[in-house]
Amino acid sequence: MSSQNPQPPTPHPQPPVPHLLLIGGLTAVFVGYLSVWLPGPGVGLQLLGVELGEWVKFLGVGQNRDLFYLPPITLGLMLAVWTMGWPNGRWQTWAARGLAVLISLLAFPAIEDLLGPAREQYTGRVYLIGLVLAVALLSGQIGPWLAARRPWLPWLLLALLGLLGAIAPTWMYGQVAPYVNRVVGLPVGMGWGVWLNAGGNLLVTAVAVWQLWKNTDRGEHR
């Protein structure tokens, strides 16, 4: 009676390095938004990124304060755009798109603000959340078609969104910090949340540019 050697289990394929780096960058943006941006001298002045947009409205910065709500919007857009080339039959694909929309809801205004007399100041954020929802749905409808014909397109969009998410909120923080310095009479510095947001977005941009270069190089050698 012949004995059969047991076959070793098939190892699960490991995600490629660019995907791991993207996950790291996107995670850093999310964690950064929920971390301290304004490290004030007292507990009451240590504000998270998610709190900063509401707090700075008392400084008279106008609609520019909406830039503090940009991280969950650009993060949601990047996550939705990344799934353009993913197969629609996998549950992970739609879970990622749903997560993109859920993250964008961190920018949703309070209901009393939307129903109040100054609601026009808040509708822009609702439109941006709607944009994330639209991109998530379109990524499932036409995303695979676009990614197959223009494989560089998702990477270009990721690079641009990463730059926007890194530069705009950081610039706005630089505009607000001098006001806070005068209010508290002390330099407040820059919290870890700002660095995590900028670093995570720039990591996404770097990976996207790397993939763009690889796609261009591959196209030239066809």
- Residue ranges of the domains in the chain? 21-220
User: pLDDT digit string (tens) for 103-132?
Assistant: 999 998 878 777 777 777 778 889 999 999
DSSP classification of residue 62: G
**In degrees rounded to 5, what are phi and psi of residue 36?**
-70, 125
- Asked if residue 35 lies in contact with residue 139, where contact means CB atoms within 8 angstroms, the answer is no
User: pLDDT digit string (tens) for 184-204?
Assistant: 677 778 899 999 999 999 999
Residue 50 has pLDDT above 70, yes or no: yes
Share of the chain above pLDDT 90, in %: 49
Q: List the single range of 46-50, 67-71, 102-106, 165-169 with lowest mean pLDDT.
A: 46-50
Over range 5-28, report the average pLDDT.
74
Structure confidence at residue 42 (pLDDT): 65
DSSP classification of residue 142: T
Categorize the per-residue pLDDT at 219 as very low, low, confident or very high, splitting at 50, 70 and 90: low
Structure confidence at residue 2 (pLDDT): 47
Over range 48-66, report the average pLDDT.
78
Mean pLDDT (the chain, rounded)? 85
Give which of 21, 74, 69, 62 is closest to 48, Cα–Cα: 69
Distance of alpha carbon 202 from alpha carbon 158, whole angstroms: 10
Distance of alpha carbon 45 from alpha carbon 33, whole angstroms: 16
